[in-house]
C-alpha cells in the first residue's frame, strides 16, 4: 500500500463560510457588502419580517407573523445622555444653563445598519446553525462591527431645541424632554420630532468632541433662554459619510 504521509490527526471538513464574518481580501477579489455613500439617521422606522428563531428564509411564511421594527428615535433615546454641566458656576446654571450631550455613535450606527439589513433581507437563507454563535442576529452584528463601521465617519450632528415656556410651572425647570420617542417621560413630546427638527429650532452654536474611532461624541451647548422661565424639547440627527 502506498503511503500518503498525511498525519491522521488532521481531517478536512466542509464548513459554512458564514462561520467567519470577517471579509478577507484576496488576489482574486472578495465579496463585500455594498453600502450607501451617506447615511442620515433621523426619526425613521424600519419594518421587517423574520421567523420566530430570527432566521429569514421564506418571506411568504414570515409575513404572516407580527412584523418587527427598528425605531431610530427610540434607539437614539436609549443611547444618549443629557446632563447639566457640573463644572459651570451657580450663576450660569441659574440663567443660561450649560448642558453636556453624550451620544453612543457606535451602538446607534450598528443598530441602524442591522435594521436596514433585516429590512432588505440581506442575510436571507442564513440559518442559526450556519453561524459560529448559533445566532444569526448576533452574527449579523458581528459582521457589521468587523466590516461596516470602519467604512463610515460622522460628518455632522444637527441639534434642535424647542423652548417651552414654564413661567407658571417652575416644577418643570430643567425638565428637558427627548422629542423623538413615544416613550418620553412626559406626553409633551409625543408627536413632536417633525416639528422640533426644523431650521427654526436648530442650534447653530455648540462645541463637539468626537472619539478618533467615531465610537462616541460629546456635545456641549448653552441654553439660550433663561432656565427659570424655559425648559426645552430636543432632538438630534446624525449624518455619516463613507470613507
The mean per-residue pLDDT over the stretch 220-233 comes to 95
Between helix 136-147 and helix 105-119 the angle, nearest 10°, is: 120
Q: What predicted TM-score, i.e. pTM, was given to this entire model?
A: 0.88
Least confident interval from 14-18, 118-122, 194-198, 217-221:
14-18
Report residue 2's pLDDT band, with 50, 70 and 90 as the boundaries. Answer: low
| Pairing of β 68-71 and β 217-222 | unpaired
The mean per-residue pLDDT over the stretch 195-219 comes to 94
pLDDT at 86: 96
Report residue 3's pLDDT band, with 50, 70 and 90 as the boundaries. Answer: low
Spans of all domains in the chain: 33-242
The mean per-residue pLDDT over the stretch 30-44 comes to 85
The mean per-residue pLDDT over the stretch 151-174 comes to 94
Report residue 191's pLDDT band, with 50, 70 and 90 as the boundaries. Answer: very low
Q: H/E/C letters for each residue in the chain?
A: CCCCCCCCCCCCCCCCHHHCCCCCCCCCCCCCCCCCCEEEECCCEEEECCCCCCCCCCHHHHCCCCCEEEEHHHHHHHCEEEEECCCCCHHHHHCCCEEEEEECHHHHHHHHHHHHHHHCCCCCCCCHHHCCCCCHHHHHHHHHHHHCHHHEEEEEEEEEEEEEECCCCHHHCCCCEECCCCCCCCHHHCCCHHHHCCHHHECCCCEEEECCCCCCEEEEEECCCCCCCEEEEEEEEEEEEEC
Of 236 and 193, the one with more pLDDT: 236
The mean per-residue pLDDT over the stretch 4-25 comes to 70
CA distance linking residue 243 with residue 153, whole number of Å: 6
Is the Cβ–Cβ distance between 177 and 237 less than 8 Å?
no
pLDDT by residue (tens digit) across 126-149?
Answer: 999 999 989 999 999 999 999 999
Of 27 and 181, the one with more pLDDT: 181
61 φ, ψ (degrees, to nearest 5)? -75, -45
Cell 443660561 belongs to which residue?
96
What are the b/e assignments for 147-185, b being 16+ CB within 10 Å?
ebbeebebeebebbbbbbebeeeeebeeebbbbbbeebe
Cell 450607501 belongs to which residue?
36
Report residue 20's pLDDT band, with 50, 70 and 90 as the boundaries. Answer: confident
pLDDT by residue (tens digit) across 77-103?
Answer: 999 999 999 999 999 999 999 999 999
The mean per-residue pLDDT over the stretch 158-178 comes to 93
Percent of the chain at pLDDT above 90? 74
Amino acid at each position: 500500500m502506498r503511503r500518503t504521509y498525511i498525519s491522521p490527526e488532521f481531517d478536512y471538513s466542509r464548513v459554512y463560510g458564514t462561520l467567519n464574518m470577517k471579509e478577507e481580501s484576496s488576489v482574486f477579489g472578495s465579496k463585500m457588502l455594498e453600502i450607501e455613500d451617506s447615511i442620515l439617521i433621523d426619526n425613521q422606522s424600519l419594518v421587517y419580517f423574520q421567523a420566530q428563531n430570527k432566521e429569514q428564509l421564506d418571506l411568504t411564511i414570515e409575513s404572516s407573523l407580527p412584523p418587527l421594527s427598528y425605531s431610530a428615535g427610540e434607539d437614539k433615546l436609549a443611547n444618549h445622555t443629557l446632563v447639566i454641566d457640573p463644572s459651570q458656576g451657580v450663576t450660569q446654571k441659574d440663567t443660561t444653563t450649560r448642558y453636556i450631550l453624550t451620544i453612543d455613535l457606535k451602538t446607534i450606527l450598528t443598530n441602524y445598519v442591522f435594521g436596514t439589513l433585516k429590512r432588505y433581507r440581506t442575510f436571507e437563507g442564513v440559518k442559526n446553525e450556519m453561524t459560529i454563535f448559533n445566532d444569526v442576529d448576533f452574527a449579523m452584528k458581528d459582521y457589521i462591527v468587523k466590516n461596516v463601521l470602519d467604512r463610515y465617519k460622522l460628518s455632522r450632528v444637527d441639534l434642535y431645541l424647542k423652548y417651552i415656556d414654564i413661567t407658571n410651572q417652575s416644577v418643570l425647570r430643567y425638565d428637558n424632554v427627548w422629542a423623538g420617542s413615544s416613550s418620553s417621560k412626559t406626553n409633551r413630546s409625543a408627536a413632536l420630532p417633525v416639528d422640533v427638527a426644523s431650521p427654526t429650532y436648530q442650534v447653530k452654536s455648540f462645541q463637539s468632541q468626537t472619539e478618533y474611532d467615531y465610537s462616541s461624541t460629546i456635545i456641549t451647548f448653552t441654553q439660550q433662554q433663561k432656565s427659570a422661565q424655559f425648559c426645552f424639547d430636543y432632538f438630534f440627527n446624525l449624518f455619516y459619510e463613507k470613507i
